[in-house]
Amino acid sequence: MTALDLSSPVGVVGTGTMGQGIAQVALVAGHPVRLYDAVPGKAREAADAIGARLDRLVEKDRLTDTERDAARARLEPVEGVAGLADCSLVIEAVLERLDVKQELFRSLEEVVAEDCLLATNTSSLSVTAIGGALVNPGRFVGLHFFNPAPLLPLVEVVSGFATDVTSATRAYETARAWGKTPVACADTPGFIVNRIARPFYAEAFAVHESQGADPATIDAVLRESGGFRMGAFELTDLIGQDVNESVTHSVWQSFFQDVRFTPSLAQRRLVESGRLGRKSGHGWYDYAPDADRPEPHTAEPERAPAYVVAEGDLGPAGELLALLREAGIQVREEEEDQGTRLVLPSGGQLALADGQTSVEFRDVVYFDLALDYRRATRIALSASQDTSPQTLAEAIGLFQALGKKVSVIGDVPGMIVARTVARIVDLAHDAVAKGVATEEDIDTAMRLGVNYPLGPFEWSRRLGRNWAYSLLDDLHLRDPSGRYAPSLALYRHAYATDKREGSGS
């Protein structure tokens, strides 16, 4: 099965933000494109707006004058669905309502040819449910573009229960021929990206709600230690709190209020009070011209310890030992079956965040997971009231000696990056086990759809195969609500690893 022939006309229904972007993609790829919108005159305005964007592509030397003129000539606004009769593919990007979309596809099915592929750009409705309105739902598929469609490469190609393999393949190949990176996925709430990304926001909000740290500190740790492009607070301010909350809410509702997807109360309050983010001038942060941008918590300089004793294998933080030696801190390594930690001269311990709290131990400081300890510019530490001031000072001095800024947060099990990554890894395993997508497509989707520095499976391999399971298991013990309960898929993964490695379960 091949992509649609470039001479085949493509119809786009709903010429708002997404419709215009998708139309531009199909047009620049070389198709004749028909635009239809329910509001009279809107398709014509959209054609003009797309024309202006083509002009800008010419200014940037990304399109020649001739190509622009030819593309404009291929773009035709029409005044009713009948104008889409000769299309080989129609993609809708209308109002996000099941009844509206079903009604539209019923009327489209009456005018288009029997072999015309029909597609929805829905982000939160079920493709199976929309397709239920069709006489032939086999030709119906989800083509979920990301905003702005001309710039973002990812397209989730969603098969509903009734979608034919040939239709899904044709949609997939067509998206690829348009220069996009398609990923195949089943019809489940949030598809791939909006399902697996939920903990990125939820865990940041949860750490804040539990008084663990302020938004500026959490954002800085996610960026500078986790390697994420933006922190969860600044990113949701950019997306719009209402838009982000509505996706979270819809995924949570669609999963029958599964506790793993519970929305944030604090975000609800922001939305209710009109603090929608950048677009309203105030969200988690205040964007008034005279407002102070809050700074992340950064510890004052402390003296580095002269030596540490490394007990056991530090796992994902193993690289620290080489960094400490390079910084002139003496490292004595001791075999240890039980613990994986650094013992400081104070006698206190420094351990990688593992889902336990500092208060459970006599004198311990936890440090957060970093994407890459060499390149991280900030590390979060957590301590309890039982941690001695000397241990905390030595832990701060140790990371400062490696050139890192240090943020001290509250005694939050799993800290910030570690719990976020563990939950993303878990949801990714769960999604594969439920047939949502392949590991490879999930990694691609999370890197391209939300700019994660690594796909969840790449991250999981780097962290060790049962790292996420054991962290979540610890967290689940401390918060038995079910929010952190590791999935059966992650359990199987960790158990299989243990057996292979001969260490039992």
130 versus 344: smaller Cβ distance to ligand NAD:
130
Kindly state the smallest distance separating residue 92's Cβ from ligand NAD, in Å.
7
Please tell me whether residue 121 binds ligand NAD under the rule CB under 6 A: yes
Q: Are 199 and 424 in contact (CB under 8 A)?
A: yes
From 92, 109, 156, 224, the catalytic residue: 156
14 versus 355: smaller Cβ distance to ligand NAD:
14
Give the end-to-end CA distance of the chain in Å, rounded to a whole number: 46
Cα 252 from Cα 198, distance rounded (Å) = 10
Interface pick for ligand NAD out of 4, 29, 63, 94 (rule CB under 6 A): 94
Kindly state the smallest distance separating residue 176's Cβ from ligand NAD, in Å.
19
6 versus 238: smaller Cβ distance to ligand NAD:
238
Contacts of 62 (CB under 8 A, 6+ apart): none
Listed ranges 13-21, 66-74, 162-170, 196-204: which one lies at the site for ligand NAD (CB under 6 A):
13-21
43 versus 324: smaller Cβ distance to ligand NAD:
43
158 versus 364: smaller Cβ distance to ligand NAD:
158
Q: Are 373 and 323 in contact (CB under 8 A)?
A: yes
Provide the H-helix boundaries in 255-361. Answer: 265-272, 319-326
Please tell me whether residue 485 binds ligand NAD under the rule CB under 6 A: no
5 versus 79: smaller Cβ distance to ligand NAD:
79
Q: Are 226 and 370 in contact (CB under 8 A)?
A: yes
Cα 333 from Cα 313, distance rounded (Å) = 9
Binding mask 333-362 for ligand NAD (x = CB under 6 A): ------------------------------
Please tell me whether residue 100 binds ligand NAD under the rule CB under 6 A: yes
Give the sign of the dihedral formed by CA 472, CA 473, CA 479, CA 482: positive
In this structure, what are the phi and psi dihedrals at residue 5, rounded to the nearest 5 degrees?
Answer: -65, 140
Kindly state the smallest distance separating residue 30's Cβ from ligand NAD, in Å.
23
Residue closest to 472 by CA, chosen among 427, 409, 410: 427
**153 prior amide bond cis, ω within 30:** no
What are the tokens at 427?
């949801």
In this structure, what are the phi and psi dihedrals at residue 143, rounded to the nearest 5 degrees?
Answer: -125, 95
Kindly state the smallest distance separating residue 78's Cβ from ligand NAD, in Å.
11
Listed ranges 95-103, 230-238, 244-252, 325-333: which one lies at the site for ligand NAD (CB under 6 A):
95-103
Is 136 a known active-site residue?
no
Contacts of 59 (CB under 8 A, 6+ apart): none
Please tell me whether residue 19 binds ligand NAD under the rule CB under 6 A: yes
Kindly state the smallest distance separating residue 419's Cβ from ligand NAD, in Å.
28
Interface pick for ligand NAD out of 45, 96, 336, 498 (rule CB under 6 A): 96
Cα 284 from Cα 276, distance rounded (Å) = 8
39 versus 477: smaller Cβ distance to ligand NAD:
39
Cα 179 from Cα 28, distance rounded (Å) = 10
Is 123 a known active-site residue?
yes
Listed ranges 8-16, 127-135, 338-346, 353-361: which one lies at the site for ligand NAD (CB under 6 A):
8-16
240 versus 464: smaller Cβ distance to ligand NAD:
240
CA distances (Å), 120 to each of 37, 201, 321, in order?
15, 26, 52
In this structure, what are the phi and psi dihedrals at residue 10, rounded to the nearest 5 degrees?
Answer: -110, 130
Interface pick for ligand NAD out of 8, 16, 152, 321 (rule CB under 6 A): 16
Interface pick for ligand NAD out of 4, 10, 13, 87 (rule CB under 6 A): 13
Chain residue whose CB lies nearest ligand NAD: 16
Size of the site for ligand NAD (CB under 6 A): 22
Interface pick for ligand NAD out of 10, 12, 18, 185 (rule CB under 6 A): 18
Kindly state the smallest distance separating residue 91's Cβ from ligand NAD, in Å.
10
Interface pick for ligand NAD out of 88, 123, 188, 391 (rule CB under 6 A): 123
What ranges make up the beta strands (E) of 291-376?
307-311, 330-334, 341-343, 349-352, 364-367
143 versus 218: smaller Cβ distance to ligand NAD:
143
What ranges make up the beta strands (E) of 97-235?
117-120, 140-145, 154-159, 181-186
From 88, 121, 126, 144, the catalytic residue: 144
Please tell me whether residue 433 binds ligand NAD under the rule CB under 6 A: no
Listed ranges 33-41, 69-77, 182-190, 326-334: which one lies at the site for ligand NAD (CB under 6 A):
33-41
Interface pick for ligand NAD out of 3, 8, 30, 38 (rule CB under 6 A): 38
144-203 binders of ligand NAD (CB under 6 A): 145, 147
Sheet with 349-352: list strands edge to edge.
Answer: 330-334, 307-311, 341-343, 349-352, 364-367, 378-382, 405-409
What are the tokens at 323?
């960094």
DSSP 12: E
- 45 burial type by CB count under 10 A (0-12 exposed, 13-18 middle, 19+ buried): middle
Active site residues: 123, 144, 156, 194
Q: Which residues bind ligand NAD (CB under 6 A)?
A: 13-19, 37-39, 42, 93-96, 100, 104, 121-123, 145, 147
